[in-house]
């Protein structure tokens, strides 16, 4: 653990040395902080329009999770230590942000190879544990055509998030990922796409390979490039431009080709979301509500309704998330008490479904706010599960030993060189890229040093 943190620290030091100024990643992209053009201008360093610019940060969250601590007998009653969500993020931008390379390296394949206890979670061969993300989480080159008003168009290509749904949960409050992670994001795909931002409206679209990664070092799914596509239409208002707007409403659709049971199939995905981020007095409020739906051809689909909020008041960061969702159930590779209980064959057909109601309450505190930021937290999640469809799905009290159970996590969010950045959009809708043309306009209106 110490070795990994040391490597993250060294990487960020290199980024800071290359940069022409402070990174500013935390101020411009934290989910609770975009409050409009004036606030963004105060918090984001002036854009360097004459030279190349490098912005970067790193993070790692040491934590311990107590699974089902109050259950007398349950397959979920485990205590596990993690260094979760270790990542290094960097944007390299040419003069005027005409070209931007976004890179995110995720080291969960090293620190949590066997997954992270996340009851209700599923995907990529893990169930009731969250799978480790791939080493190359993002590697996207954007060619941008901004205008001085902070609008414009972009073409982008690489590996990352297809334009669909909401921000990556890694940049949002709550330690545990929501159940809808594979309904509300299409991630770690090779894609070619574009974005248009005009008059408060934006449209993003891309084609990509639909297959999910098989493990943290799988760079595949390029073989199926072009078999899937997605689009996201958004309207923003309430002050601020692009991703810095106070209000954001979006509608997304995806048509994703995948392999299930040894045969090809297609899944239609929909997402509707409303996001709000604004300063009220001395506090920052972030809130999100979303509805997600999957409709696989020839089999049962799944849905999720989620709402979450984070209040940042001084050093205090209380947050709340509520989710009601259905999820697929699979034949598990092992019995209760074995590691195989949390695994299934990646391409297996679901044997049915379960229904989940999940309430997540947490509190974070900014103990250290500097080049290295330390934010201790406590995170409590309550789960209630009921049987859905499928004769082969055991009742919850048989499968888990109960139909209601808790998870408690303690730890600290550690950031090097900045705080969490919004993730899931590129080009003129990348929060870091989007600030450059806005500040070009400010420099034209206010000559002299900023």
The residues spanned by each domain of the chain are 2-217+230-235+246-445
- pTM score, whole prediction: 0.87
CB 373 within 8 A of CB 419: yes
In which residue are the tokens 């999720």 written? 304
178, 185, 297, 347, 380 from 167: Cα distances, Å: 12, 8, 26, 26, 22
Q: Each residue of 168-182: pLDDT tens digit?
A: 999 999 999 999 999
What is the rounded distance in angstroms from the CA atom of residue 249 to the CA atom of residue 343?
36
Q: Name, in order, each residue with C-beta under 8 angstroms of 179's C-beta and a sequence gap of 6 or more.
A: 120, 121, 122, 304, 323, 325, 327, 356, 358
Tokens of 411: 């730890």
| Domain at 2-217+230-235+246-445, CATH homologous superfamily | Porin (2.40.160.10)
**What pLDDT sits at residue 185?**
98
Q: Each residue of 352-380: pLDDT tens digit?
A: 999 999 999 999 999 999 999 999 999 99
What is the rounded distance in angstroms from the CA atom of residue 204 to the CA atom of residue 154?
9
For each of the chain's 450 residues, which pLDDT tens digit applies? 444 444 444 443 433 333 333 343 333 344 444 333 333 333 333 344 568 999 899 999 999 999 999 988 899 999 999 999 999 999 999 998 999 999 999 999 999 999 999 999 999 999 999 999 999 999 999 999 988 777 899 999 999 999 999 999 999 999 999 999 999 999 999 999 999 999 999 999 999 998 889 899 998 778 889 999 999 999 999 988 889 999 999 999 999 998 766 678 899 999 999 999 999 999 999 999 999 999 999 889 999 999 999 999 999 999 999 999 999 999 999 999 899 999 999 889 999 999 999 999 999 999 999 999 999 999 999 999 999 999 999 999 999 999 999 999 999 999 999 888 889 999 999 987 766 543 433 333 333 332
């Amino acid at each position: 653990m110490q070795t990994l943190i040391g490597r993250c620290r060294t990487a960020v030091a290199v980024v800071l040395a290359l940069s022409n100024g402070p990174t500013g990643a935390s101020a411009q992209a934290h989910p609770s902080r975009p409050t409009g053009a004036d606030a963004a201008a105060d918090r984001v360093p002036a854009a360097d329009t004459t030279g190349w610019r490098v912005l970067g940060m790193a993070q790692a969250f040491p934590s311990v999770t107590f699974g089902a601590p109050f259950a007398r007998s349950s397959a979920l009653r485990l205590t596990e230590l993690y260094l979760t969500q270790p990542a290094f993020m960097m944007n390299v931008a040419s003069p005027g942000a005409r070209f931007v390379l976004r890179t995110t390296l995720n080291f969960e394949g090293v620190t949590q190879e066997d997954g992270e206890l996340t009851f209700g979670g599923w995907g990529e061969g893990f169930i009731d544990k969250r799978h480790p993300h791939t080493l190359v989480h993002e590697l996207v080159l954007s060619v941008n055509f901004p205008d001085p008003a902070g609008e414009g168009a972009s073409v982008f290509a690489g590996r990352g998030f297809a334009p669909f749904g909401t921000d990556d949960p890694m940049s949002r409050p709550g330690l545990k990922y929501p159940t809808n992670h594979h309904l509300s994001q299409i991630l770690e795909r090779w894609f070619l796409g574009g974005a248009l931002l005009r008059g408060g409206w934006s449209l993003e679209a891309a084609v990509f390979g639909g297959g999910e990664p098989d493990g943290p070092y799988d760079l595949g799914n390029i073989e199926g490039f072009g078999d899937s596509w997605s689009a996201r239409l958004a309207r923003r208002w309430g002050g601020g431009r692009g991703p810095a707007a106070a209000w954001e409403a979006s509608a997304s659709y995806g048509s994703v080709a995948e392999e299930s049971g040894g045969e090809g199939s297609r899944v239609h995905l929909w997402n509707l979301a409303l996001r709000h981020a604004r300063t009220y007095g001395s506090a920052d409020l972030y809130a999100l509500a979303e509805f997600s739906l999957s409709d696989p051809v020839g089999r049962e689909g799944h849905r999720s309704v989620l709402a979450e909020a984070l209040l940042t008041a001084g050093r205090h960061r209380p947050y709340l998330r509520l989710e009601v969702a259905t999820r697929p159930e699979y034949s598990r590779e092992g019995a209760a008490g074995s590691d195989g209980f949390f695994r299934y064959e990646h391409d297996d057909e679901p044997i049915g479904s379960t229904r989940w109601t999940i309430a997540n309450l947490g509190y974070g505190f900014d103990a250290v706010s500097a080049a290295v930021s330390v934010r201790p937290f406590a995170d409590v999640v309550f789960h209630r599960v009921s049987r859905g469809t499928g004769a082969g799905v055991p009742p919850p009290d048989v499968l888990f030993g109960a139909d209601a159970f808790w998870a408690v996590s303690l730890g600290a969010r550690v950031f090097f060189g900045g705080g969490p950045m919004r993730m899931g959009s590129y080009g003129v809708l990348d929060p870091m890229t989007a600030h450059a043309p806005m500040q070009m306009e400010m420099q034209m209106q206010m000559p002299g040093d900023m």
